[in-house]
Amino acid sequence: MKKSKTSFFCRNCGYESPKWMGKCPACNEWNAFIEEEASGLPGDSRYAALQSNEIPLSIDAIEADEKERIETKVLELDRVLGGGIVEGSAILVGGDPGIGKSTLLLQMLQKLAEQGRNVLYVSGEESARQIKLRGLRIGAGSKNLLILVETALDNILQHLQKVSPDVAVIDSVQTVYSSSLGSAPGSVGQVRETAGRLILFAKKTGISIFLVGHVTKDGAIAGPKVLEHMVDTVLYFEGDSGHAYRIVRGIKNRFGPSNEIGVFEMRDSGLTEVGNPSAFFLSDRPDSASGSAVVPSMEGTRPILVEIQALVSPSTLGMPRRTSIGVDSNRVSLLVAVLDRICGLHLGSHDIFLNVAGGIRVDEPAVDLGIVAAMASSFLNRPIFPGTVVFGEVGLTGEVRGIAQMLLRIREATRMGFTRCILPRALSQEISDSSGMELCRVGNLGELLENLF
């Protein structure tokens, strides 16, 4: 028998090399190369299934309607997807083990089945009896919800062709294998080929397919990075066992806004939608406590009020500690240096601990002013004036820069009962005080400290 040719592939990006390399030249990842069977030539029969055999069409002759979406009736999930599931789309769902991916998708399929749609749940990790037990717990028992336990790609495609469901879930893509490859399920080649054939099948037939993906210890979806480029939408589950909430964040979406989030609460009966995330994250906020500031952060198209907590205390160590949870630690170091140089708050000999209450992570520059306000409040041991929200970007010279969507943030703060808002002077002149919110416009950190306490 002819010996099969092998190559080395990067687990992170799929880069192929004839020999092992310590560092991937494409993505700079270390120790990521594994040996697998090399791909065949372009004329190999295994590529016949990946041919679409389409002909060029004029764009004005193609019929399409943006409103043709499948509503899941799970409002938070519909929000992340941009209004519903687009027919023929491929959606990749990732998250830590046990965070609730399978539970939410099974709840979604039950909602679709209740609307009279045929749906299919394909599992390669659980038996049908185990899925039934979970379905009893979350109330999934519709006759239109079909369960298939299979890992062979060809068999899965045959059942999809025969059943022709409106929506199908593949849990998970790392367990599916193609017999045309000799490598084990979950390898770079297997994930790339199985995902490619499933995505092409979705485009040809109009069946929407959800692909559940395992994650690495760093939190990224396992397999080649090209997998995220192949699908239409990438959803990440965020949260941990210490908090009851779960966040579904849209990292990529070809049919809607990216970085949109949906908030859920984990209960015994499954995942329950949280209709008012601001009240959820501020529910346990202490009154008149120093080191606490509320910031309206934009998550996609929706403003959410989050509490930033800071603890600044004198350090007994030679090198003071800097710990931040929920915000970028490099950004915090930058703001500490600005406070020290511009405002005269000498924090160099103090330990600084920063936390976003509730465990949510915020990355936008608008939270800079909230971080500065919380650290200044803790350092001076003076609570911020009650009912105050703060937002704005801080520059290296201490100036407060304008940000986008200020009016939406102010309206959300007003709805939650806040009466005072400290915001950048730049780009805010057209916003009036008629909403009942007292607006304090600041241009630098000196003005911020004057209006905080």
Six token digits for residue 425: 């002077």
Q: Tell me which amino acid residue 192 is.
A: R
Give pLDDT tens digits along the chain (453 positions).
445 678 888 877 778 888 899 998 888 888 888 887 765 544 454 555 556 667 888 888 877 666 578 999 999 999 999 989 999 999 999 988 888 899 999 999 999 999 999 999 999 999 999 999 999 999 998 999 999 999 999 999 999 999 999 999 999 898 999 888 777 788 888 888 899 999 999 999 999 999 998 877 666 666 667 788 889 999 998 877 667 788 899 999 998 888 888 999 988 888 999 888 888 888 888 878 899 999 999 988 889 999 999 999 998 888 899 999 999 999 999 999 999 998 889 898 899 999 998 878 898 999 999 999 999 999 999 999 889 999 999 999 999 999 988 999 999 999 999 999 999 998 777 777 656 788 999 999 999 999 888
Check whether residue 83 and residue 11 sit in a common domain. Answer: no
Residues 6+ apart with CB under 8 A from 427: 402, 403, 406
The size of the chain, in residues, is: 453
Q: Tell me which amino acid residue 326 is.
A: G
Cβ 290 vs Cβ 382: under 8 Å: yes
Answer yes or no: is 64 within a domain.
no
Per the structure, how many domains does the chain have?
3
Q: Tell me which amino acid residue 359 is.
A: G
Cβ 273 vs Cβ 339: under 8 Å: no
Binding-site residue ranges for ATP: 95-102
Check whether residue 287 and residue 268 sit in a common domain. Answer: no
Check whether residue 183 and residue 308 sit in a common domain. Answer: no
Answer yes or no: is 44 within a domain.
no
Check whether residue 100 and residue 196 sit in a common domain. Answer: yes
Check whether residue 288 and residue 251 sit in a common domain. Answer: no
Check whether residue 170 and residue 309 sit in a common domain. Answer: no
- What are the phi and psi torsion angles at 244 (to 5°)? -80, -20
User: What totals of helices (H) and strands (E) does the chain contain, helices first?
Assistant: 11, 23
What is the CATH number for 105? Answer: 3.40.50.300
Question: Partners of 307 in the beta sheet?
Answer: 294
Decide the pairing of beta strands 261-267 and 292-299. Answer: unpaired
Check whether residue 295 and residue 426 sit in a common domain. Answer: yes
Check whether residue 358 and residue 220 sit in a common domain. Answer: no
* Look-up of token digits 């295994």: 46
Answer yes or no: is 55 within a domain.
no
Binding-site residue ranges: 95-102
Check whether residue 399 and residue 291 sit in a common domain. Answer: yes
Six token digits for residue 384: 């911020």
Check whether residue 157 and residue 91 sit in a common domain. Answer: yes
- What are the phi and psi torsion angles at 155 (to 5°)? -65, -40
Answer yes or no: is 42 within a domain.
no
Tell me the residue range of the domain where 140 lies. Answer: 70-275
Check whether residue 10 and residue 118 sit in a common domain. Answer: no
Answer yes or no: is 54 within a domain.
no
Tell which of 212, 246, 275 closes a domain: 275
Helix (H) or strand (E) holding 429: none
Check whether residue 74 and residue 160 sit in a common domain. Answer: yes
Alpha-carbon span 328 to 413, nearest angstrom: 24
Decide the pairing of beta strands 322-325 and 350-356. Answer: parallel
Alpha-carbon span 357 to 261, nearest angstrom: 17
